[in-house]
Every structure is written in structure tokens, then in C-alpha cells.
Amino acid sequence: MGRKYAVLGVGHVGSTVAFALVTKGDADELVLIDKDEKKARAEQLDLQDATARLETRPKIKVQDYHELKDTDILFVTAGNILALKNQTGNNRWAEFNDTREIVKDIAPKIKASGFHGVMIVTMNPCDAIAQYLQKEIGLPQSQVMATGTFLDTARMQRVVAEQFYVDPKNVTGYVYGEHGNSQFIAWSTVKVNGLDLLPLAKKKNLPLSKLEEHVKAGGWDVYAGKGYTSYAIATCAIKLSRAVLDDAHLMCPCSYYNQKYDSYVGQPAIIGKNGVEEVVDVPLTAEEKAKLANSASTIKEKFATL
């Protein structure tokens, strides 16, 4: 059988995901759903026109929740980016009221469709919304994840790489916690070219607190310049989907349920054919453990208001 994807919400992120799936040849079938039917059909036509110049020709369908029944991967990318317009900080909870109402609308439709694949959520605030969707739809927790701090970790890799003049892929380590203000870089896990960062940073007299500020502000900097973010978050979502369909057992951070904190929170996990196969308990310092507990508590408190 071919690989079947669906994108629910074809705004900036959703349309970027769809474009990448089609141009990379990942999708054999693609379903696009949006509250704006005209927009969904326009994206369908635009992508179909592109296939005349591509090596593959996926079947692209629109506005049919019934198609989700045999869909392998469902990207939930709906939202209201305009809710951030008057924000002066990196506060993804500003979208909370809008995305909460979106979930109330789409969750019963997803459940009624019989969807039983893996769901990847990019809606903000993604940790709470992923947990909300999981509870409303009734899918196993392993099959519902959010991109979470996968994107923030990529931003950390870029910022650190710039300081040491290396490829970002040569920087490893994790950003934990909320995809938002209470996130933190677990500096004890970060390595550059396989070497522990902390002694390297001390030698270069690098102020880690300032580097962390740059990482946290990364999304806001992009938003301030173009009014939204799209490429990096779409790339992260697709990377997770490929790990599922390839049964890659890829170790990377994502937002997933942490039983200890009774909350979805960004943490390293193994991603395979069943979604989140297991959470990896990477050793952290006492200070980092406290920051993770605080971040999870922040998410849990906000989630309770749903």
C-alpha cells in the first residue's frame, strides 16, 4: 500500500507541509482539509499543476473527513496566527482560545472518521492541544504527538553552531519542556563535534544565558519579519512522519505524555511505526530536573482550564 497523508488546516504551515510532501515524493495520497473550502481547493489545484514537472503524481483530495479512515499520518496544523499580532513576547498561549475552539470543532469529526493512524500536532500551544486532541479523540497516547521542542532544539543547534563555526548537525543535545516560555536548554546534554559543550563554552567565555535567549526568541524573530513561521516547523513535522512510516526508531525530542508529570511535555523519545515507541530518560542535572518539573506544571495548569 502507498503512503497516505492528510493535512488539517492548510494555512502557512499546512500548505508548506503539503508542498514538501508532494515535491519530495513522500505522499502517494494526500488529503487537504480546511475550514475555507476555497483555499483547500486552490492548494489542491496548485499542487496538481506542479506534478506535471515532478517525478511522482500523488492523488490529492480535499474536504473529506471520511478519507482519514485509512490515512497513515494526520498533520493537525490549524490555528490563528493573527492572535499573536499584539504580543510583545514569545507567548504561544495567545492562540489558546482560538485553537481550543478549533479542537472542539475538528475532534468529533476526526473521531467519527475512524482515523487510527499517527497524529502530529503543530497547533499552538502545542503541548496542551496535543493532549486535548488525544483525550477527545481517544487515540492511544503513543499515536498522538506534537512537534514540541523538536523545533526549539533545531534552533539551539543553529545558535550553538554559529558560535563554533560548525554544521548544525554536528551539535547534539536537547531543549526540554514547553514549546514556549518555560522551555529550557539542557546544557548538560549538548555536544559540539562530539565534545561536551560546557567546557568548550567556558574556554570561549560564552554566556549561555544569552544563547538561550536567542533560542527562545527564534520563532518570534521569524514571526516579526514575515508574520508567521513555516519552513522549520513543517520540516520538523515531516521528519517525525518519516520516522513513523520508515519505522526508523529515531531518537529526537517531541511533545508526548509524561506519566510522572501527568502532562504532555517536550522530551527525547524514540519514534517508530507506532508513533512514540518509548520516552528516553536522559540523565539531567538537579537544576534541569527542576526546570522540567516546572515547565510540565505550567502546561498542566493551563491544560486544566480546558
**HSE of 32 in the Cβ direction (CA atoms, 13 Å)?**
30
Active site residue 116: no
Of these residues, 66, 116, 179, 249, which one is catalytic? Answer: 179
- Residue 225 labelled as part of a binding site: no
Q: Residue 171 annotated as binding?
A: no
Residue 218 known to bind ligand: no
Helices 149-164/197-204 angle, 10° precision: 40
9 marked among binding-site residues: yes
> How far is residue 18's CA from residue 1's CA, in Å, rounded to a whole number?
20
CA 200 to each of CA 162, 194, 208: distance values in angstroms, whole numbers, following the listed order: 14, 11, 11
Closest C-alpha among 17, 254, 64 to residue 146: 254
According to the annotation, is 34 in a ligand binding site?
yes
Is 10 annotated in some ligand binding site?
yes
Angle made by CA atoms 85, 87, 91, in degrees to the nearest 5? 115
Cα gap 282→212, rounded to integer Å: 20
Question: Does the annotation flag 249 for ligand binding?
Answer: no
Active site residues: 179
Which residues are annotated binding-site positions for NAD(+)?
9-14, 34
